[in-house]
Structure 1
Amino acid sequence: MEIAKYGLYTALATSLAFASQANAVVIDDFDNPDAVGVNWVQDTTVDGIGSGNPDRATYDDPLGIIGGERDLWVNLLDDPFGSLTGVALSVAAGSLSYGTGSGVVAEGKIQYDGNDSDAVNIDTAGLGSVDLTLNGGDAFLLDVINTDLGFTFGVQVWSALGAETDTVVYTASGATTGLAALSFSDFVGVDFTDVSAIEFTINTLGEAGQADIDFSIGSVVSVPEPASIAFFGAGLLGLGLLRRRKSQL
């Protein structure tokens, strides 16, 4: 299995260079080896329960994770060959990695909902009120370095202390690389100046999802992106990212 590496950022359409890191709204820099809690979670049993662990930022890096805590959760859905490794989600050296054993179908979640020490349930008001549009932020930027399989991933954002939410599901085709901008405007009824929780879901199709998924994600921050979303037109086509609306909750 080839490794797919992704750099995911909240971005704004004002500058070509990724500048002003010091002014960025950091969602997660995945760079907290001394964090309290667990930076790794694994599920090797098909039981419908899943396995999750909260991971808190250290005092020395209080802004390394938005809200001070990232929650990792994985669930093994199908393991036809009795894989010993099942599915694992881990953080190390500035990246988050997701991997499955041979033939394994699984799902994973990364939650940002404040210091609740709960990796299973999400506190939709846990972040209070965070402005992801600071410095003009208006998109998530996905940087695909290498991949050979397609899969679905969902992004759900809550605002107004959980009163407003929407989920956008994307399908990434395999064997493609490049940049893709996931615009805040894809989300209906969400106020990105008042974000109260964020959740990323790996494989939104359940047992019908793609098997043998392995990839890594880079830091998630709010920084300038190229001069316009249109700049990424060719990259979006190359990636084959197809936006699909889920029901609003």
Structure 2
Amino acid sequence: MKKFAKFALTALIAGMTMAAQASVVIDDFDVNQGVGQLSDSTADGSGVYNSVVGPVSSILGGERDMFITALTTDGFGAQVTTNVSGGLLKYSTETGSSGRSILKWDGVNGVAGVSTGSEANYLATLNPTGLGGLDLAASGSGFKIKVKESDLGFDFAITVYTDATHWTTLVLSSEAHHNFLPDNTPIDFADFFGVANEAGTILSSGALRFTGTGGSADLSSVGAILATINFTGSEAEIDLQIGDVRTVPEPTSIALFGAALLAMGAVRRRKTEVK
């Protein structure tokens, strides 16, 4: 596994651009998580999670659910951590550890305190129709991710649910950024549309697409959204700072995200062949 030097990132996760050019925010991270830092230092299949409520103008659906788990550790207390404060989502892995963090927006249904459990436990709290069939397609045509600083790339995923069997996950990889350059890279809604049971279809954008047993998500009827940092579990020693996430009316190419992810897949295939 490559070791990554620390880098700071700011990814905008904001809502859609309406006909009146207003934005509906998915999360601007102005509402602190309220429990301080969530951390995990044991790679035992468990993690920690909690929820915070806030105005729908700041958090889509009125609640943000956050999960963190260590995937590897050095056995001497190296941690993976995440928290939201000061308008930023902060994610960090100490030397000798790697982890994964999942944010969830699916309406008000979470836990105020900190709970311990596996990733499956956390995802079992998902309400795939909790946002009530939000029509994103009527007000935008893509999500927009803005990276402030990163000395190397990292992978992430966005999952959109229409219901329990209709969903799409796009797995992407970001290249290095410095002071918001390269500029914002949108994720086109069109990439979310596919057939049922896709298991890593490689798109022309470089993203990988996975879909539910019933089919792909319908962006005109959104029930829940997940954002996963380090989806593949392959990156270590990462420091991230995420600002907010939004949609845009006319996204451009997402090719900047593709090359690193495809290279990662090639390395994994080579390792498999060697074994």
- Give TM class, smaller chain: 0.7 to 0.9
Deviates more, 1:68-77 or 1:88-97: 88-97
8 A contact 2:155–2:261 mirrored in 1 = no
Please give the alpha-carbon distance, in whole angstroms, between the structure 1 residues aligned to 2:36 and 2:223.
Answer: 23
**Given residue 71 of structure 1, which amino acid in structure 2 is its aligned partner?**
D
Within the candidate set 135, 139, 143, 1:140 is matched to 143
Displacement of 1:134 in angstroms is 4.0
SS at match of 1:28: coil
- The answer to whether 1:193 aligns with 2:195 is no
Structure 1 unmatched runs, 5+: 245-249
Please give the alpha-carbon distance, in whole angstroms, between the structure 1 residues aligned to 2:98 and 2:164.
Answer: 31
- The TM-score normalised by the length of structure 2 is 0.71
Within the candidate set 160, 172, 180, 2:185 is matched to 180
8 A contact 2:14–2:27 mirrored in 1 = no
Please give the alpha-carbon distance, in whole angstroms, between the structure 1 residues aligned to 2:261 and 2:153.
Answer: 14
Please give the alpha-carbon distance, in whole angstroms, between the structure 1 residues aligned to 2:158 and 2:235.
Answer: 18
Deviates more, 1:72-81 or 1:38-47: 38-47
Within the candidate set 63, 66, 80, 2:60 is matched to 66
The equivalent residue for 1:247 is none
8 A contact 1:149–1:213 mirrored in 2 = no
- Aligned identity (percent) is 30
SS at match of 2:61: helix
**Given residue 9 of structure 2, which amino acid in structure 1 is its aligned partner?**
A
Superposition CA RMSD, Å? 2.7
8 A contact 1:162–1:197 mirrored in 2 = no
8 A contact 2:106–2:129 mirrored in 1 = yes
Please give the alpha-carbon distance, in whole angstroms, between the structure 1 residues aligned to 2:257 and 2:192.
Answer: 20
Q: Deviations over 1:159-215 (max 9, x none)?
A: 1x3341011100123356322111111112321121001111111223xx1111111
Query: What is the correspondence of 1:1-249 to structure 2 with a 5 Å cutoff?
Result: 1-10=6-15, 20=21, 23-33=22-32, 38=35, 40-57=37-54, 61-80=55-74, 82-84=76-78, 86-118=79-111, 120=122, 121=124, 122-135=126-139, 137-159=140-162, 161-174=163-176, 177-178=181-182, 179-188=184-193, 189-206=216-233, 209-222=234-247, 224=248, 228-230=250-252, 233=253, 236-237=254-255
- In structure 2, do the counterparts of structure 1 residues 24 and 229 end up closer, same or farther at CA, with 3 Å as the change threshold? closer
Q: Which has the higher strand share?
A: 1
- The TM-score normalised by the length of structure 1 is 0.78
SS at match of 1:186: helix
8 A contact 1:168–1:243 mirrored in 2 = no
